[in-house]
Structure 1
Amino acid sequence: MGVVCPSVSCRTPTLSEIQWIFFQIPHSLMGKLGRFILGKSFGSLEKAIDILCLFESEHLELSAQEIADRLSIPLSTTYKYLQVFKNKQFLSKNDQTNQFFLGLTILKLGLLAAKKTPVMKIASPYLKLLSDRSLETAILVVGDGQNAICADIIESPRAVKFMTAKGHTMPLYAGAPGKTLLAFKDPAFIDQLIETTGLAKLNKNTITDSEKLKRNLADIRRLGYSESDSEFESDVCSVAAPIFDYKGQVIASISVAGPAERIFRENKERLIDLVKESANRISSELGYGKTREEKEEYS
């Protein structure tokens, strides 16, 4: 995730937006595409998908050698996959660095998949309204395994603000957006995440004690919102609330983020109310809290 910085110095990277789009493509569709472009001539479908999944917001470009090393496959085999992906525009190549990055086909398919994601379409105007009313950066986050992904963002109009990019990943256990998603996971998932991550310390206020984290998650469920201060990024504070679908499942979180002096010291309670109101309105449009007959419209 980004940092608090002047607006004149940064802009959202195009490649990271493409990376976010990649995460919108259903695995079933990826499987069909993999069978189409690879056929039966060489390699496994699973390995092909593994190559594409290596591209993350922290690794927007990768060399053939890096891909081969990370997947423990021969370099010659790696080049065969990369050539097919390049021919079909699933990957493009930076001729100056000889590194590969996600291509236009990924972008096109992801955009089509995103159109079928109701929360993205419904949340968009509320995200803009939240940023306008709070004068802070507003973020929509969705889950991806044990991580959270920035699905959409409206930056603060202020010069000093929190910045990140679509597609940027963050852990579920650090920061208000991720913890809001984690709080509504089943206990077995939470225990597995704690075991897998070890609750590694990511910043000065990261919660590294499992029992303390579980108490915090219980508070989030009880209060209906989460807050954080320098848990994932230094001097970045955020407030987040869960978004429910018509089945009553948490499918995303909406949040505001910015420097501590503005988020927590000036208008914390107002921001909490704004974030919760935004989450409630999005959830309502997704069918949350509707009658049985009304819910049938969303199924």
Structure 2
Amino acid sequence: MTNGKQPESVSSVLKTFGILQALSTQKDIGISELAQRLMMSKSTVYRFLQTMKTMGYVSQEGESENYSLTLKLFELGSTALEYVDLVDLADIEMRRISDLTLEALHLGALDGDSIIYIHKIDSKYNLRMQSRVGRRNPLYSTAIGKVLLAEREEDDVKRILSDVEFTKSTERTHETIESLIDELHTVREVGFGEDNEEQEVGLRCLAVPVYDRFNNVVAGMSVSLPTIRFTEEKKAEYIAELHAAAARISHKLGCKEYPHGK
């Protein structure tokens, strides 16, 4: 900026990370020392620390003025690393299925009340889907969304979708959480989810779950294809390939026994 000043939001971010970095250099530290080290007022440091404490990133040592980092940042970093490992492992399997089917492959994870695509391989046909890594889509109208929800308790599904407005993208899109939950029972039973032209007319999608070492579903992997190329024979073949690939990925993530596709 020409006036040399930073927007308040940028300044707040710099102060936040300055405090976090300072706290990372020693086990605990007081407000006065932090303020002196960062050249900030004690009142500002105190205000930021209280916010970080409320969010769980900082803890206060007893009744003293000393503060220290919690393990929440470590948890965030571990989650990020897990997704990096997951994408690397999935890429190998997704490329193999891509070579076999020539269709689009997606890897998606749960993020709040929607799915977020964390990896994608485009179709080898001319058709290009309007999806990209980092894009969000509804849980209720996507095959990946359904496998991410299927093994959760009904109350948990209702909590996740409590603020979601069910928008009809097509005539086949679920209109209520009750109708979605009915389908989720089937998804759990058969081990795969389907998007039968619910997100986009003329497009079918099949997805299976990927598990971590705690046997929790951490992602969904899918193959998408236009209805003109869809057959029941392909459906069975693609689901089998997806299950075999997801089993190998899950095993490498520490899942001892993949429960589907046997």
TM-score, normalised to structure 1's length?
0.58
Structure 2 Cα separation of the partners of residues 263 and 33 of structure 1: 52
Give the letter aligned to residue 132 of structure 1. Answer: D
Report how far residue 204 of structure 1 moved: 2.1
State which of 178, 189, 203 in structure 2 corresponds to 1:222: 189
Equivalences for residues 266-281 of structure 1 within 5 A: 267-281=234-248
List per-residue Cα deviations over 1:159-195 (Å, max 9, x = no partner): 1243421101011111101111011223222112443
Report how far residue 217 of structure 1 moved: 0.5
Residue ranges of structure 2 left out of the alignment (5+ in a row): 1-11, 20-37, 49-76, 258-262
Give the letter aligned to residue 218 of structure 1. Answer: H
Give the letter aligned to residue 216 of structure 2. Answer: Q
Give the letter aligned to residue 272 of structure 1. Answer: I
Equivalences for residues 137-148 of structure 1 within 5 A: 137-148=104-115
Report how far residue 125 of structure 1 moved: 0.4
Equivalences for residues 21-60 of structure 1 within 5 A: 35-36=16-17
Structure 2 Cα separation of the partners of residues 34 and 245 of structure 1: 36
- SS in structure 2 at match of 1:196: coil
Structure 1 Cα separation of the partners of residues 83 and 246 of structure 2: 20
Equivalences for residues 104-119 of structure 1 within 5 A: 113-114=80-81, 117-119=84-86
- The alpha-carbon distance between structure 1 residues 140 and 199, as it changes in their structure 2 partners (threshold 3 A), is same
Residue ranges of structure 1 left out of the alignment (5+ in a row): 1-30, 46-109, 291-299
- The answer to whether the Cα contact below 8 Å between 2:154 and 2:181 also exists between their aligned partners in 1 is no
**In the alignment, what sits opposite 2:124?**
157
TM-score, normalised to structure 2's length?
0.66
Structure 2 Cα separation of the partners of residues 276 and 190 of structure 1: 24
- The answer to whether the Cα contact below 8 Å between 2:209 and 2:221 also exists between their aligned partners in 1 is yes
Equivalences for residues 231-242 of structure 1 within 5 A: 231-242=198-209
Report how far residue 259 of structure 1 moved: 0.7
RMSD: 3.2
Higher relative contact order (CA 8 A, sep 6+): 1
Runs of 4 or more, structure 1, over 4 Å off, are 31-34, 37-42, 113-116
**In the alignment, what sits opposite 2:212?**
245
* Percent of aligned pairs with the same amino acid: 28
**In the alignment, what sits opposite 1:131?**
98
